Amino acid sequence: MNKEDKTFEKSAVFIDWYAQNLRKLPWRETKDPYFIWISEIILQQTRVIQGMKYYIRFIKCFPNVEILAKASREEVLKLWQGLGYYSRARNLHEAAKEIMTRFGGRFPQKYEDILSLKGIGCYTAAAIASIAWNQPYPVIDGNVFRVLGRLFAVETPTDTAEGKKLYSELAHRIMNPEQAGLHNQAVMEFGALQCVPQNPDCSRCPLQHQCRGYAGGKPQQYPVRHRKAKTRDRYFHFMYITYNNVYTYLCRRNEKDIWNGLFEFPMIETAQPADFDELKETDEFKRLFPPDSHAVFTLDKSGVRHILTHQVLHATFYRVEIRMESEALKDCLRISLQEMSDYPVPRLIHRYLSDVM
């Protein structure tokens, strides 16, 4: 560690920049670990502008950990609807229950205890511990990877064990432990507003003359990533069924797959794209719609693409009118059409319903 690092000069630069450029956000006006936790979970995979309204609604409905723990899973998922990555909401709910049972309803203060909660990793635990109690745990997220990668021209890929270790050492090296919470917020904000992924304005960067990436003339090549995640295509055929123009059907997804705990229309997944004639030949179609159901089908929407992490969903929606309820449909939840908005559904289905209702 050199003299510059010992005096935490870089940390002071980040903090000075932050004082002049920080965005006024509601979770920055509190040291309450519960509110900090909620904001950090919401902002994972979510932009601040979108996350703000969800944060405000969420803490209004669940103002403390006890109320969140007592809520039903459906209530939590419904409030989360539209944010995506629903495992965050499920884990949040489970962690609230853990806090009530394991910690007597008090948010744990020790880093190790925070880390032990469902859905909380090193980054979130460090954010909570540092911001709420000024504990010296540096945060390392995508923004911080980018800032450190450029500042030190790190050639080691971020998605390797060696890279993670190196970035952790660098993050600890530049942190002033006496201002841990402020430092973490400053570095994250710096990455979000100044050291942006594309076309960073290096001419206005206060660390320009210390940045090795800038000195090398190619700051945008950092951080280096080793592997590119593969994506797979999936083909979903949704059946929006109406029975006597009064009822429709929903199925809850409970398997270990996307959208666990959410409701969807009865759906047939095929390995390849399939038109209606091909769909009719599948066993699931025949199970849902035997001849005595007298089903009438209308192709409502096709070619809908919905992109998830490592997956691309290709969705087709059929509107189906039936005269007789099949045995397979009795395994689904039959609800009145007016009740549809009471159930948490994936964003893909929410958007469809917004278009047709």
Examine the residue annotation and report whether 40 is marked as an active-site residue of this protein. yes
Q: Give the 3-state secondary structure of the chain.
A: CCHHHHCCHHHHHHHHHHHHHCCCCHHHHCCCHHHHHHHHHHHCCCCHHHHHHHHHHHHHHCCCHHHHHHCCHHHHHHHHCCCCCCHHHHHHHHHHHHHHHHCCCCCCCCHHHHHCCCCCCHHHHHHHHHHHHCCCCCCCCHHHHHHHHHHCCCCCCCCCHHHHHHHHHHHHHHCCHHHHHHHHHHHHHHHHHCCCCCCCCHHHCCCHHHCHHHHCCCHHHCCCCCCCCCCEEEEEEEEEEEECCCEEEEEECCCCCCCCCCEECCEEEECCCCCHHHHHCCHHHHHHCCHHHCCEEEEEEEEEEEEECCEEEEEEEEEEEECCCCCCHHHCEEEEHHHHHHCCCCHHHHHHHHHHC
Point out the catalytic residue in the list 40, 98, 189, 264.
40
**Catalytically annotated residues:** 40
